[in-house]
Structure 1
Amino acid sequence: MSLRWRYEDASGNPVTGPDVGFADQDAAEAWFGDAWAGLLAAGVEQVVLLDGADEVYGPMSLRPPA
């Protein structure tokens, strides 16, 4: 398993973000829990968790619910 996050703007277009790989979903989610505010400040609006080329889940907004 090779998990990573895909970073997107609000329209789902790719944006640049950290290129970090994870051994499992728990590690990916723990990293995201620490990094999401910085990602949002850098222009990332939503993320998708990928396992290789397969989408595990997402898109998930970085904005709090209204």
Structure 2
Amino acid sequence: MSYRWRYQDASGRDVTGPDLVFDDQTDAEDWLGINWAGLLESGVEQVTLLHTDAEVYGPMSLRPAEPR
């Protein structure tokens, strides 16, 4: 069982990001929680969590939510 992130730009095109594999979903989500700002600065606009090759959820924007 492995989890990894798919990185995409604002148009939904895949972009290069850290090629990391996590043993469980919690580890993957914890890593993203720590590193999302750096990913955004490097050009990643959205991510999708993959379990092996199946999508768990996403795409999810890395931009902070707009105030209402």
TM-score by length of 2: 0.94
| Unmatched runs of 5 consecutive residues or more in structure 1 | none
| Unmatched runs of 5 consecutive residues or more in structure 2 | none
- The structure whose Rg is larger is 2
Query: SS of the counterpart of 2:6?
Result: strand
Displaced runs of 4 or more, over 2 A: none
What is aligned with 1:10? 10
What is aligned with 1:28? 28
Deviations 1:9-59 (A, max 9, x none): 011100000000000000000000111000000000000000111000000
Identity percentage of aligned residues: 67
Q: What count of residue pairs does the alignment treat as equivalent?
A: 66
